A = this chain, B = another copy of it.
């Protein structure tokens, strides 16, 4: 109808958007106590769906930095190929998160869209209630429905693995636990915290809220509330 020329629409590239999203989530999770001190992390895929693996890229936080003060330009972008061949953006002072090898493994094994590593105190506590147990079990809580693949009457079973001297060494034992518990979307690490993943960053984030809620429920149970 009109001959007025169309303005050229500039689409913000997915990578730019996702780097901004990781820095935003990093602050949000910091305020929730999941990222604490310099620990804890969040990582997500640039494209969640329909991209062949050689074109998949993954955003990760640097290691040993303040997670409440991240900006998009602090982010690493890795190829999901392992070892990552291209497009890594190494910074001068920091390095990529120590959890990078495990994160890449989780992306590969679980076809995840995002992974969260949390130091949330309640998640840490549930691993300490019984130091010889290698499972966290809970049932009969509505919030279990928030965990991928679970309904209200399902028991939620999350594996607990032992802590390692460095996070870079936490690859083999979580891998085994993921294979042994295919229904779980989390692995607890004794006296440390929890790794949580989902098909998308939204799924990882909302499940993470549910896992921390259920851990808090168990804590109050331990403190004497009937359960």
Query: Which A residues are closer than 8 A to B by beta carbons?
Result: 36-39, 66, 119, 121, 124-125, 128-131, 140-143, 145-146, 151-153, 163-166, 189, 191-193, 202, 205-207, 209-210, 213, 216-217, 219-220, 222-227
Which listed residue (B36, B38, B146, B226) contacts A130, Cβ 8 A?
Answer: B226
Smallest beta-carbon distance A87→chain B, Å: 28
Q: A216 is contacted by which of B121, B225, B227 (Cβ under 8 Å)?
A: B121
Task: Determine if A37 and B152 form an interchain contact, defined as CB atoms under 8 angstroms apart.
Answer: no
Instruction: List the B side residues contacting A153 at CB < 8 Å.
Output: 165
C-alpha gap A128/B139 in the complex (Å): 13
Find out whether the CB atom of B165 lies under 8 angstroms from the CB atom of A152.
yes
* 19 interchain pairs, CB-CB under 8 A: A36-B143, A36-B209, A36-B213, A37-B209, A37-B213, A38-B206, A66-B205, A66-B206, A121-B217, A125-B217, A128-B225, A128-B226, A142-B163, A142-B189, A151-B165, A152-B166, A219-B220, A222-B224, A224-B224
